Amino acid sequence: MPGRVLSVASEYVPLVKTGGLADVAGALPGALAGQGWDMRTLLPAYPGLIDKAHATEEVWSHLDLFGGPGRVLMGQVGGNAVLLLDAPHLYDRAGGPYGNPKDYPDNAQRFAALSWVGARIAIDGLSDGWVPDVLHCHDWQSGFAPAYLRFSGDKRVKSVMTIHNIAFQGNASAALLGELRLPFEAFNSDALEYWGHLSSLKAGLATADVITTVSPTYAAELMRGDFGMGMQGLLAYRAADLTGILNGIDEDVWNPETDTEIAHRYSKTSLAKKAPNRAALTAEFGLTGIDGPLAIVVSRLTDQKGIDLIVECATDFVAMGGGLAILGSGEAHLEQALKDLVKAHPGKIGLRIGYDEALAHRMFAGGDAVLVPSRFEPCGLTQLYGLRYGCVPVVALTGGLADTVIDANPMAQQAKVATGVQFHPVDALAFGQALRRLVDLHENSKNWSAMQKRGMSQALGWDTSAATYAQLYESLTA
């Protein structure tokens, strides 16, 4: 029987986003509603959010929330209830959700408070009578919530901890234990202690009833030393409770047939209309005479995303006739390396530093291929947007990239199932070869458009994943 879920997250599309977590947290309530589950999402009331969500109804309050009063105001976004934790001493900051450019020094308190309120609501419910059956937490920012729930002794509410990216672990000084209202006796390696410190992610992984992550391959990878980032032992120990459920995308927002951000809308039966989008994109990035594939990159510019491999392989790619349009922001040395690349290849490589959602749409519409050479990738969304827009993904064989793209190897081509190019290991040699294969595949226009159409025919929405989450909730509450 479907029930109620309290989702606790630090980001939520369309209210606040720094990465894929926001897309998932924002998509889940609508997707789960289709399965009959009533999900409300608790998130911090960062500046401006209360107005954006029209959150006026107070449904919870507490006088002493880690150094000041806190209350929860309920609003609606896209037909789904959001619960905004209004605690100005914690969240009324001019920078981003976590700081800008440096993390806020009290992030441990800020997100422990969010987690603590999540657990309290799970146990006591809201003043309008809404009481959840499941507490669903996302990443380190809500990792203490299953721990607070467990230590409260409550056994009615079940908890789910979802790993969107294990690289962020919410480490904090053990000296904060008392301040964060965590029991001293739980400071041991089976619960809160992580190499002598606290880790909110570890706390969640150790105490939640079940653990999920965002692709089956990442779930398997996480139990290995080269991907688990210190959590592999715990995750291997909890293997029976760990599942990978692929993310979906919002097929209304990411739909080349209806996309209002692009000049020329198209579908898999009118692929020729990609050409004017491509022309517009090359013009926008100042590129000319690109005979081979026009590849795009829409990404945080970090080591995880393999941006250095793009820097290393770009010259050869351009020499093969390819062009590159890059959008992203991130680590200063990578931004600089890309700027140098543009200087070295004027008219062949274009770069926009920054975050620009509308431009991202134009890039998927105009690009022939999207490059995602990530060293690890829990799920990844950009390869999915690529599939949807006939912008063929070239991806590292890892995590969700391994689970969502079918490599154009000879057998897959013969079976007519290929949707992209995969490479392994994640190094410049293998990536360079993948780019060579991309150029070759692109030359055969008939096979190329067949591959584009197959990608565009994939089911990429939330239906399958939502049904799997619903099954998980049901198994917990049965």
* Single residue of 256, 328, 393, 455 touching ligand ADP by CB under 6 A: 328
Q: Which helix (H) or strand (E) holds 274?
A: helix 274-284
x-or-dash string of contact with ligand ADP, 165-184, rule CB under 6 A: x-------------------
- CA 122 to CA 228: how far, in whole Å? 29
Comparison of 249 and 313: residue with beta carbon closer to ligand ADP? 249
250 binds ligand ADP, rule: CB under 6 A: no
**Closest separation between CB of residue 313 and ligand ADP, Å?**
20
DSSP 197: E
255 binds ligand ADP, rule: CB under 6 A: no
* Torsion angle, alpha carbons of 265, 460, 168, 177, to 10: 120
**Closest separation between CB of residue 23 and ligand ADP, Å?**
6
Cβ-based burial of 36 (10 A; exposed 0-12, middle 13-18, buried ≥19) = exposed
x-or-dash string of contact with ligand ADP, 31-60, rule CB under 6 A: ------------------------------
* Torsion angle, alpha carbons of 379, 417, 429, 427, to 10: 10
Tokens of 244: 């990978």
381 binds ligand ADP, rule: CB under 6 A: yes
Comparison of 180 and 360: residue with beta carbon closer to ligand ADP? 360
Sheet strand arrangement including 4-8: 57-62, 70-77, 80-86, 38-44, 4-8, 134-138, 158-163, 210-213, 242-244
Task: Report phi then psi at 160, rounded to 5.
Answer: -125, 130
Total residues in contact with ligand ADP, by rule CB under 6 A: 18
Comparison of 13 and 210: residue with beta carbon closer to ligand ADP? 13
413 binds ligand ADP, rule: CB under 6 A: no
- CA 201 to CA 111: how far, in whole Å? 11
Task: Report phi then psi at 294, rounded to 5.
Answer: -90, 110
* Single residue of 80, 162, 277, 382 touching ligand ADP by CB under 6 A: 382
Comparison of 19 and 183: residue with beta carbon closer to ligand ADP? 19
* Single residue of 360, 365, 421, 451 touching ligand ADP by CB under 6 A: 360
**Closest separation between CB of residue 401 and ligand ADP, Å?**
9
Comparison of 165 and 207: residue with beta carbon closer to ligand ADP? 165
- Cα 302 to the center of its chain, rounded Å: 15
Tokens of 99: 């700081």
365 binds ligand ADP, rule: CB under 6 A: no
356 binds ligand ADP, rule: CB under 6 A: yes
**Closest separation between CB of residue 328 and ligand ADP, Å?**
4
380 binds ligand ADP, rule: CB under 6 A: yes
* Single residue of 300, 436, 437, 453 touching ligand ADP by CB under 6 A: 300
DSSP 137: E
With CB atoms as reference, the residue minimizing the distance to ligand ADP is 20
For residue 256, count other CB atoms closer than 10 A to its CB: 25
* Single residue of 152, 232, 329, 477 touching ligand ADP by CB under 6 A: 329
Whether the Cβ atoms of residue 318 and residue 348 lie closer than 8 Å to each other: yes
143 binds ligand ADP, rule: CB under 6 A: no
Question: Which stretches of 119-235 are assigned E, i.e. beta strand?
Answer: 134-138, 158-163, 171-172, 193-194, 197-199, 210-213
Residue corresponding to tokens 């565009």: 456
* Single residue of 9, 20, 53, 438 touching ligand ADP by CB under 6 A: 20
DSSP 3-state of 226: helix
Binding site for ligand ADP (CB under 6 A): 19-20, 23, 165, 298-300, 327-329, 355-357, 360, 379-382
